[in-house]
Amino acid sequence: MKDMMEYKDYFGSVHYNGEDEVFHGKIEFIRSLATFKGTDVEGLRQCFEEAIDNYL
């Protein structure tokens, strides 16, 4: 899937806001709203994994 990240069988959408220069996303296919953001790919990945771990 394009523009998606995966961790522990969960998926997160990834978007980039050029105006704010930040990546952001949300955990997809769950009933809760869980979001994450980062200023670079490494930071985005870390926040995504933390969001999944917190959700679980």
pLDDT in tens, 8-55: 999 999 999 999 999 999 999 999 999 999 999 999 999 999 999 999
**Residue 10 · residue 25 · CB < 8 Å:** no
DSSP string for 35-48: EEEESSHHHHHHHH
**Residue 25 · residue 13 · CB < 8 Å:** yes
pTM (2 d.p.): 0.89
3-state class percentages of the chain: helix first, strand second, coil last, to nearest 5: 25, 40, 35
Q: Give 37-41 contacts, CB < 8 A, sequence gap 24+.
A: none
The whole-number pLDDT of residue 14 equals 96
Find the domain containing 27 and state its range: 4-55
The whole-number pLDDT of residue 17 equals 94
Per the model's pLDDT, the better-predicted residue between 1 and 36 turns out to be 36
How many domains is the chain built from? 1
Q: Tell whether the model's pLDDT for residue 1 goes beyond 80.
A: no
